[in-house]
Amino acid sequence: MRRERSLMLDTATRLLFPTLLLASLFLLVVGHDQPGGGFSGGLVAGAALVLRFLAGGDAETRTALRLRPGLLLAAGVLAASGTGAVPLLLGEPLLTAGKTSLRLPVIGAWIGEVALSTTLLFEAGVYAVVLGLVQTLLRTLGSDSEEHQ
């Protein structure tokens, strides 16, 4: 039995989904020098996927994020563990963050130097792991609900 889609939920989802994804990226980038930037950003992006799932089911979620969850999980674990382990190869303690600053041609004219840290790459890995886990959960729930209908 096919359920009717809610016009109000569909419209709200179309407005909120890109906004939530942008907010999750903001949390990732702004919180990268503080604990939890990748985790909280990943949770907000996961909430956006859950909203798409509630609005249109598994098919809607698959079109919202075309990356396979296994790929996201693998890339996230590789990025997080790689940035944590590379300092060991350089004779530094585990999870030592590398920092540098660049003067980018266009952006540097407005804000000066841009500070970069390996912490952002670590947090991006955590973000990808959380998003991959949420996507795996939604695909599992979606496959169960479609089999019983």
DSSP secondary structure, 51-68, as one string: HHHHHHHHHHHHHH--S-
- Compute the C-alpha angle 124/48/13, nearest 5°: 150
Q: Which of 76, 44, 51, 59 is nearest to 139 (CA)?
A: 59
Q: Taking the C-alpha atoms of 126, 127, 133 and 139 in order, what is their torsion angle to the nearest 10 degrees?
A: -160
Q: Supply 121's token pair.
A: 């790459």
Position 40 scores a pLDDT of 92
* Mean pLDDT of all residues in 37-58: 91
Position 32 scores a pLDDT of 64
pLDDT at residue 108 greater than cutoff 70: no
pLDDT at residue 101 greater than cutoff 70: yes
Q: What is the pLDDT of residues 116-135, one digit of tens each?
A: 778 888 999 999 999 999 99
Residue with token string 């609900």? 145
Burial class (CB within 10 angstroms; exposed 0-12, middle 13-18, buried 19+) of 85: exposed
Rg (CA), the chain: 19
Counting Cα atoms < 13 Å in the Cβ hemisphere of 38 gives: 21
